[in-house]
Chains A and B, each alone.
Chain A
């Protein structure tokens, strides 16, 4: 059996923990640079605010219904997410972190326990420890666990937990799940399925397996089997090292100055390299990209990237940064207003599998010692304590005008409790 623990309206719920006055009110949290609504309270959903809608399109509703609007406070959400995972780890032999607000639990071996009670208890414990409402679905497969979790989200009487296992129950619930809500079926496939008259998960399950495999490959078949209660998707207790790592950001406004852009891109490089070393890897290629603002049609447009291949897989910020800045200088054009830039590392291999090159002229042992010191200092004293001279010292300039305090990660931001009434 598997469980999926999914935090309800996670970012909004995090804001509400430290600001209980937001309970019962419509609340939304915006994406980076305050662009679109990425988390909505149930009250906000009821007002018709859809996922991903740009803020400028809903200004009227926000004003009319006094919707509380927040910038993304990732320091807070990351910390709260860690607390949820810590809580779940006490309950299950193994957990797989699926995203910032979702985790699978491996319950194999716990079949003898009352799993409906288990689901409710897990939800209650998460709420008690953190104040975040969590929906826990338990089922024979991961795909069904997702459905069970979503099912109990809409039904408060289930107290945050539901064990979906009886054949009849599964059959009934699948009739109510639209195909586009099934985990693993993308938008393209659901459109296709609709044209064939397949609208619900129940319709999908009744399709001939041969047809599913032919039209949707082995992955579609796997999803179908999962919905029938046959577990096909492995439990990934340990997250495999990523094959590609990227740090990219939109700028608060267009940037024209090569110096300023280089500073930002240098900072991205340093962040992405830190991620690379944290997962104990090295990379063969680095890609740099630079984009203008596609919404400003009257301005000159450019979307270009350049790739560089290292003779020996690299992991040093100094080495990679040098290459990135050179590639960037080939991309940059004067007079263009750049809105977004990024650095991608690919061709990633474990650091202990780096093939040395006879003609390599870099002292890799020395570099790796230097990077170790840099990473340790930055971890202990704070990011940017030791940095490459070209990198921006002011951090990434983001529009975050409605940012709440970092209640759990900064001493100057911890909640203040009045003791004066």
Chain B
């Protein structure tokens, strides 16, 4: 059987030559040692990536605490709820955003808007704190 062997000639395309970093004539940039330091907003607001979630606000019951309709919440589930924290709560079948106050035998979920009433939480309620809000992102 006849075998065909193709022979290729070198292409005439341009060849790029690498630029060697070390050989420069000018004064070296004094900023060189400080590169890689540009600020990263995620690194600032997300302390625990494994436990940080985002959620969107619907409604204005927390407006006087600076949280309005459409804002994005940065929630860290690993943070222990504390007295007075603003948290995503799960109450009787739905998620709601409120400030959580600890009282003797019950919790109060306090809105930040006079049009809404505080919610009284006792053992009879189906209640969990889903996560504590750490930051609010709002578009102006």
Contact = CB atoms under 8 A, between A and B. Distances in A.
Interface of B: 5-6, 8, 48-51, 53-62, 67, 69, 72-73, 77-78, 88, 90, 93-97, 111, 116, 119, 128, 130
A421 B57 CA distance: 12
Nearest to A87: B50
Nearest 6 CB-CB pairings of A with B: A420-B59, A129-B51, A419-B59, A86-B50, A419-B61, A83-B50
A417 B96 contact: yes
Contacts of B61: 419-421
13 contacts: A20-B128, A86-B49, A86-B50, A87-B51, A128-B77, A128-B78, A129-B50, A131-B77, A408-B54, A416-B56, A417-B56, A417-B97, A421-B116
A361 B8 contact: yes
A415 B94 contact: no
Interface of A: 20-21, 83-84, 86-87, 125, 128-131, 359, 361, 407-408, 411, 414-421
A20 B90 contact: yes
Contacts of B5: 359
A408 B50 contact: no
B50 A416 contact: no
Contacts of A131: 77, 130
A21 B93 CA distance: 6
Contact of B55 (A21, A361, A415, A421): A415
B86 to A, nearest CB: 10
Contacts of A417: 55-58, 73, 88, 95-97
Contacts of B57: 416-417, 419
B93 A419 contact: no
Given A20-B128, A128-B77, A419-B97, A83 B58 contact: no
B68 to A, nearest CB: 8
Contact of A419 (B8, B48, B67, B72): B67
Nearest to B96: A418
Nearest to A363: B11
B26 to A, nearest CB: 30
Nearest to A20: B90
A84 B69 CA distance: 31
Contacts of A421: 59, 61, 96, 116, 119
Nearest to A420: B59
B10 to A, nearest CB: 12
B72 A130 contact: no
Contacts of A407: 53
A407 B95 CA distance: 14
Contacts of A416: 55-58, 95
A129 B78 contact: yes
A419 B58 contact: yes
Given A129-B77, A131-B77, A361-B6, A418 B58 contact: yes
Nearest to B51: A129
Contacts of A359: 5-6
Contacts of B58: 416-420
Contact of A418 (B6, B51, B59, B67): B59
Nearest to B53: A408
